[in-house]
Amino acid sequence: MNNDHVHRSPAGSARGFRLVVTGGGTGGHTYPALTAVRTLQARLAAEGRTLDVLWIGTEEGLEARVAPAEGIAFTSVATGKVRRSSNPLKMVSPANVKDMARVPLGVAQARKVIADFRPDVVLATGGYVAVPAGLAARLCRRPLVLHEQTVRLGLANRKLAGSATRIAVSSESTLPLLPEAVRGAAVVTGNPIRPEVLAGHPEKAVGALGLHGFDRRLPTVYVTGGAQGSQQINGVVRDALPWLLERANVIHQCGPAGVEELRQYAATLPAPSAGRYYLAGFVGAELPDVFALADVVVSRSGAGTLAELTALGKPAVFIPLASSAGNEQAHNARHLEEAGAAVALLGDVTADRLRDAVGPLLTDPALRETMAERARTHGRPDAADRLVDVILSAASG
């Protein structure tokens, strides 16, 4: 427990708002929380008020790096990861039993942190660590706001739904899936996305990445497998690359592990094609500009990616991560495909299937525009502001 650098505001200060954030493990739970914190800070600052934040996470989760890097006080509690299995007997594995035994310890630790910090609201964004901190909020009688990024409630939020003051969900389609008893607490906010994602400029991407071999008469495809890259997506795109480069420019974010092999392959491409292929292990600060330049995106279908692409109105071909919790990515991709807002490639994905999916989007600008418009109807660029409204209303009862 490292509480030594928690910012304290004077007790009873009317101007300061105190927030405990809990959630993390992955970017999907961590970044929406961070965006909500920044947005709340800006809202309060405009009213001459300050925000005092404490993040409760785990040492192993992404939040342990992100929170301190953003100047947010961080403390960790014990938590148990439940290993899912379709066989109920396997759920009672020694590892699961040992982890479940850690939850009461985590609740006790979180209860002490929350009792000391006296937050106005506890915001839980999912991930295993949200369970002990969310239960502790209830024990300390502090308003608890849950935020769910995906269409169906995740494991942590299902456990906490009965204790929540408000449940902020990302999609209208979540409402009928909620237990009847908690539906009255639900508000559709959307999934907060970083405001800079919406502010990109295509020409900046050309300059920053040196895309001078690109043919601007052709559409540009952005391929991404997420920060770590995806072997599956890299392999399928490599097999389809000669065909793709006759019809498009390609920016391929392949993950640090995939760079070497793909670079060797790219060296064998004929000259004009090679100039239309840009390979990167990771795309950082240039991402908003890359999005602005892209006509079509090929990617996984995690909740954060979906929120960004629909807010931007980008035609997308989704290759869901098959092993995602509760098959959530396939569910997300299918949901948008049914609305005509994306193409979902499920099951065994080959270069031929990728060509069939991407081909019509490359040759038909009108089809791209229709898909973009449909994607936009699912986008909620103001999600962070809506979530801040929910947090502030929960605080005032």
Strands 277-280 and 343-344: unpaired
**Exposure of 23 in the CB half-sphere (CA atoms within 13 A):** 29
* Distance of alpha carbon 34 from alpha carbon 114, whole angstroms: 19
Other Cβ atoms less than 10 A from the Cβ of 282: the count is 14
Q: Give the N- to C-terminal CA distance of the chain in Å, as an integer.
A: 31
Q: Is 169 helix (H, G, I), strand (E, B) or coil?
A: strand
* Distance of alpha carbon 88 from alpha carbon 274, whole angstroms: 51
| Cβ neighbours of residue 211 closer than 8 Å, sequence gap 6 or more | 205, 249, 251, 278, 293
| Cβ neighbours of residue 214 closer than 8 Å, sequence gap 6 or more | 206, 220, 249, 275, 276, 278
Q: Please answer whether residues 262 and 279 qualify as being in contact, where contact means their C-beta atoms are separated by less than 8 angstroms.
A: yes
| Cβ neighbours of residue 353 closer than 8 Å, sequence gap 6 or more | 345
Q: Residue 180 burial by CB count (10 A; 0-12/13-18/19+): exposed, middle or buried?
A: exposed
* Distance of alpha carbon 192 from alpha carbon 388, whole angstroms: 10
Q: How many residues does the chain have?
A: 397
* Distance of alpha carbon 359 from alpha carbon 240, whole angstroms: 11
| Cβ neighbours of residue 243 closer than 8 Å, sequence gap 6 or more | 351, 355
Other Cβ atoms less than 10 A from the Cβ of 42: the count is 14
Instruction: Output the tens digit of pLDDT for each of the chain's 397 residues.
Output: 444 444 444 444 457 999 999 999 888 899 999 999 999 999 999 999 999 999 999 999 999 999 999 999 999 999 876 555 556 565 556 666 666 677 889 999 999 999 999 999 999 999 999 999 999 999 999 999 999 998 888 889 999 999 999 999 998 989 999 999 999 999 999 999 999 999 999 999 999 999 999 999 999 999 999 877 899 999 999 999 999 999 999 999 999 999 999 999 999 999 889 999 999 999 989 999 999 999 999 999 999 999 999 999 999 999 998 776 668 899 889 989 999 999 999 999 999 999 999 999 999 999 999 999 999 999 999 999 999 999 999 999 7
Beta-strand (E) ranges in the chain? 16-22, 50-57, 73-76, 121-124, 144-148, 166-169, 186-188, 220-224, 249-253, 277-280, 296-299, 316-318, 343-344
Other Cβ atoms less than 10 A from the Cβ of 284: the count is 8
* Distance of alpha carbon 127 from alpha carbon 363, whole angstroms: 41
What is the predicted pLDDT for the residue at 227? 75
What pTM did the predictor assign?
Answer: 0.84
* Distance of alpha carbon 151 from alpha carbon 173, whole angstroms: 7
Q: Please answer whether residues 299 and 310 qualify as being in contact, where contact means their C-beta atoms are separated by less than 8 angstroms.
A: no
Q: What is the per-residue DSSP string for 270-336?
A: -HHHHHTEEEES---TTHHHHHHH-SEEEE---HHHHHHHHHHT--EEE---TTSGGGHHHHHHHHH
What is the predicted pLDDT for the residue at 4? 44
